[in-house]
Amino acid sequence: MKILRFKRFGVSLLCMCLVLIMSACILLPTGSVDDGGGDDSVTGGDDGTPTYAVEINPDKNAALELTVSVSGDAHERKIIEELGKGFQKEYPNITFKIDPISGNIYDTVMGYYRANRMPDLLMANSFSMLTLGAAKVVAGLDPYIEAETQNGTFDADDYYADFWKLGQRNFDGTQWMVPRAADQVVVHYNKSILRAAGVDLDPATTKVKNGWTWRDFLDVCARVRSYYDGHGMGNLYLIDSYLNWEANFNAILRSCGAEYWGEGDAGAIVSENTKTALNLMKDLVEKKYTAKFSGASQANFDGGQGAFLFHSRASSLTWNILKEVTAVKNELGGGAAPEDIYDVATFPLIGDSPKIGAGAAGYCVAATIDASRRDYAWQFLKFMLSRDGQNIIAECGANYPPIRKDMADPTAEGVSWGLNLGFNLDAYTWAARQGYACATDFILKRPAMAQDLIDAVNTMIKNYVDYTPAQGSADANAKLDREMQYCRESLEYWAFDA
């Protein structure tokens, strides 16, 4: 009996050991021990430059299927499909297969990588690009850019520098991503509501125009607030402000002169400038222009109830939503033109050194694919950046502003992004031309913890803006000091300690 038990125990132990050894052999982290990662000649390594050989004139008759990993929404898929068709005019035998990214880009790409089925091209944004680059899974594109520049077939100066750099390591280094548009926060506004509130909308005299100031904006808000209150809409808010979105809060903080990092990597968020910015945001809530952070209420701009929306969304997309609202349908039925009902203007300028939030989405080339595939992937990105490519993106329905400077005028011949809509699309590129575009660059201290760094600032804003002081301004000031202090500690923790 004892022998039998011993045998069973032995067999169980052996089986466990077998599983353990098999697992250990098969499942050691890829890259094994302390090898520092992948091919630095392709990725550029930790802080170097990629040095691989490139072919900028690949065989145009080559047959190849490129896989593109695209965010789940149908619109982005359509863009790639249409770009693919355009690309095939020059490379007729290159076909495209789309792999959808569902949810988190980093998570999805990790899945691809571990399954050894990395796509050739992958969609990213200016945050995820940094993390993917640091993980050494996207190629540095500098060798292509240099070769094409020498060949006279590419000039980085054709693109807005403020957006082009959002595809680079630390926003100033190896090119890991090619941005596909110039995404700028603008103010979308409901002209019908403003007109009903008695706001002057005469193009010659109106305050609501590109380059308007925060003071102008508050004046208009005050007028619209009075209109709401006097017409039984006292419970409605005016602005879908998305102050918890880093593109918005960062621009406001920076416009007021606030800094996140000081000398010696110390957090510098505790400052009078930060207080000014936070009070500016709190002012919007206290005057009931925008809803508190806590609480699901919004001004409901998309539903035709709110007057303003701070967002970088393409105006065609916003208009497509707004025109389904019954009141807007009635106006259109009555002969009104879209530009009589809705328009966009630049984000209001704050202070002497104004900033306006900017971001970028684009495409990276996987570092793991072989050289010939990489050559075609680059050619595809180059096509995306061309006038034809930028027009195709617009013709897919979303008039994101092109990243090309020579396409800034939406009404110019051969430029499609106006989509024959009479909106003030200049608002989207105005800030970049003035040098006011502002990236969320405080996360560069530690891009891998970008969301936590953003959350740290967001928490400070929310806790202060939503705070109702029990004992007047002294109480509010104490709260403000506490929140700033806690934010500084959090930023330092996520940047260096975590």
Partner 1 sequence: MTANAVKKRKRVAKRETVRRLQGVLFTLPVIVGIVVFSYIPAVQAFIYSLFKYDGFKTAQYIGFKNYADLFSVDRETGKVFLNTFLYAFVSVPLSLVLGYLVALLVNNKLRGVSAFRTLFYLPVIIPGVAAAVLWRDLFNSEFGVINRIFGAFGAHSLFFESEKTALATLLFTGVWGVGGSMIIWLAAFKNIPAELYESAKIDGANAFTRVVKITLPLSTPMIFYNLVLSVIGSLQVFNTFIIAGGSGGRGPENSLYFIALKIYNDAFTRGGRMGYASALGMALFAVIGLLILLVFKTNKWVTYTE
Phi-psi region of 238 (alpha: psi -120 to 50; beta: other; left: phi over 0): alpha
Q: Taking CB under 8 A as the rule, does residue 305 contact partner 1?
A: no
> Among residues 1, 3, 34, 470, which is the contact residue for partner 1, using CB under 8 A?
34
Q: Taking CB under 8 A as the rule, does residue 12 contact partner 1?
A: no
> Among residues 294, 320, 372, 477, which is the contact residue for partner 1, using CB under 8 A?
294
Q: Taking CB under 8 A as the rule, does residue 136 contact partner 1?
A: yes
Instruction: Identify which of residues 297 and 330 has a Cβ nearer to partner 1 in the complex.
Output: 297
Tokens of 30: 């890829």
Q: Taking CB under 8 A as the rule, does residue 125 contact partner 1?
A: no
> Among residues 448, 476, 479, 485, which is the contact residue for partner 1, using CB under 8 A?
448
- Taking the complex as a whole, the smallest distance from the CB of residue 372 to partner 1 amounts, in Å, to 22
- Taking the complex as a whole, the smallest distance from the CB of residue 469 to partner 1 amounts, in Å, to 17
Instruction: Identify which of residues 34 and 413 has a Cβ nearer to partner 1 in the complex.
Output: 34
Residue 143: partners with Cβ closer than 8 Å, 6 or more residues away: 50, 51, 52, 53, 54
Residue linked to tokens 């009555």: 334
Using CB atoms within 10 Å of the CB of residue 328, give its burial: 0 to 12 exposed, 13 to 18 middle, 19+ buried. Answer: buried
Among 437, 391, 443, smallest CA distance to 414 is for 391
**Alpha-carbon gap, residue 207 to 209, rounded angstroms:** 6
Q: Which stretch binds partner 1 (CB under 8 A): 85-93, 129-137, 159-167, 276-284?
A: 129-137
Q: Quick one: DSSP state of residue 265?
A: G
Q: Which stretch binds partner 1 (CB under 8 A): 99-107, 162-170, 254-262, 304-312?
A: 99-107
Q: Which stretch binds partner 1 (CB under 8 A): 21-29, 60-68, 250-258, 316-324?
A: 21-29
Residue 495: partners with Cβ closer than 8 Å, 6 or more residues away: 261, 265, 445, 446, 449, 453
Tokens of 329: 């349908």
Using CB atoms within 10 Å of the CB of residue 373, give its burial: 0 to 12 exposed, 13 to 18 middle, 19+ buried. Answer: buried
Q: Taking CB under 8 A as the rule, does residue 161 contact partner 1?
A: no
Q: Which stretch binds partner 1 (CB under 8 A): 27-35, 194-202, 254-262, 419-427?
A: 27-35
The interaxial angle of helices 74-87 and 387-395, nearest 10 deg, is: 140
Instruction: Identify which of residues 80 and 236 has a Cβ nearer to partner 1 in the complex.
Output: 236
Residues in touch with partner 1 (CB under 8 A): 19-20, 22-24, 27-38, 104, 106-107, 110, 113-114, 131, 134-137, 294-297, 447-449, 451-452, 455, 459, 493, 497-498
